[in-house]
Amino acid sequence: MQFKRLTTALAVAVGGLLGLWLLSLPPGAFDQGFWATRTTLVYGSGVLALGLMSIGVILTARPVWFETPLGGLDKFYRLHKWLGISVLGFAIMHWVLRKGPSLISEIGLFSIPPKPAHAQELETGFNLFRDLKHPAAEIGEWALYALLALAAIALWKRFPYKYFYMTHRLMPAVYLVLVFHAFILIDRSYWTKPLGPVLAFLLLTGTTAALISLFRRIGYSRKAAGQIATLSLYDENQVLDVGVRLETAWRGHEAGQFAFVDFDDAEAAHPFTITSAWLDDGLLKFSIKGIGDYTRTLAGSLHVGQGVVVEGPYGRFNFQGDGDRQIWIGGGVGITPFIARLKQLLRVSRTGPIDLFYATSTPDSGFMAPIRQLAQQTGVAFHLVDGSKNDRLTIETLAAMVPEWKQADVWFCGPSGFGDSMRLAMVAQGLPTSRFHQELFDMR
């Protein structure tokens, strides 16, 4: 269901802009010969690239009112990635259509006909659109090259996150340059056609979001400050429990939600699932697995009393499904939202049976003991899938333990490959797609 939402959102964005552009063309726009058609396509590809980029920039400002229709902030970033890839395709098309004939003519294969003089080009005195046309074209070309470089870095997963974050902060500035490029060069007849109001809204909203990002105001109203109160490291699975005592107001959170956490160091804020239930006492807990360049250093760099800024909460991994029966699958550190839900169930009654599968290759007895205790206290059936003993959770092993699994809502959090394989296998054997809920959070 969540993937259908995202593909539908992408299709609406691309199809909507394409349809509005086609409706805005004059009759016979593609019957005027090669050069006129090329000019039309230059404008169209540019409009689609910038319109989709505007939507992507708007999503980076984390508008929480989009979380419900898209299914959570983790889905924002997946849609943002798909939009970025689409933008690249249309931007490259725009560049090829714009520069291709000139490059080919330079090697003597054909000559480009001279452009007809327009009335505004014969005017004297300052004219914004005429006099800034050449610099707008030049700066737009260089902005495109910057866009390609930044997008390549974003898609290269091995590029360190710290430096990816630093380079990606340039994207709003690149976007603003492209807005200027489009405003000066776009066919002004579009503004009075069906495309005009929608494109103007996207550019204005995108510009606002870009400025919010450049001035580092994203999520400002959702931030709370505090200090590290407790630190507990589980050596066997390299999970660090960080307890935070907030000193400013926090709006509260539900089990399964996450927050961006800034430990007042050189690194940017990272998203971590909140593993504590909210008791209105100012206390939050995060269980952080040392799996990346940054998270592996936290056990040695954090200390009690260190300042912390928490932004959130975000996410719609809320355990609200169609039926009473639920199956939870936590892979590795993906167990964290289920810990929070178990703690929440101590205070609220559950409506149906729940089976919790914890798949890990590094089981730590100290880390698992409170999970087992919480499961026992709340009546949740706990199943350990121990990868260190070559145990694997498959649809066959799950079905043997939970024969009625097709009537359950499945909540999965863990490695994306593991989740995708479970989802495909379960759906292939009869689980409705809408009953498989998967956390998709990926910053890139």
Q: What is the pLDDT of residue 111?
A: 62
> What is the value of pTM for the model shown?
0.89
Say how far apart CA 329 and CA 252 lie, in whole Å. 25
> What is the mean predicted confidence (pLDDT) over 106-112?
61
Model confidence at 400: pLDDT above 60? yes
Q: Is residue 51 very low, low, confident or very high in pLDDT (cuts 50, 70, 90)? A: very high
Q: What is the pLDDT of residues 259-307, one digit of tens each?
A: 999 998 878 899 999 999 999 999 999 999 988 788 999 999 999 999 9
| Per-residue pLDDT at 33 | 84
pLDDT (mean) for 76-97: 94
| Residue 116 pLDDT level (bands cut at 50, 70, 90) | low
Q: Are 210 and 175 in contact (CB under 8 A)?
A: yes
pLDDT interval class at 327 (50, 70, 90): very high
Q: How far apart are the first and last CA of the chain?
A: 22
**Which tokens in the block code for residue 158?**
């091995």
- Contacts for 246 with CB less than 8 Å, ≥ 6 apart: 224, 225, 226, 282, 283, 284, 310
187 confidence band (pLDDT: 50, 70, 90): confident
The angle subtended at Cα 387 by Cα 381 and Cα 388, nearest 5°, is 120
Q: What is the DSSP letter of 429?
A: T
- What is the average per-residue pLDDT within 353-371? 94
- Amino acid of residue 40: T
C-alpha distances in Å from residue 409, one per residue of 184, 391, 432: 52, 24, 9
Separation CA 55–CA 366 (nearest Å): 45
**Pairing mode, if any, of strands 307-314 and 258-262?**
antiparallel
Residue 360, SS3? strand
- The structural domains of the chain, ordered by start, are 2-214 (1.20.120), 222-314 (2.40.30.10), 326-438 (3.40.50.80)
Q: What percentage of residues in the chain have a pLDDT greater than 70? A: 93
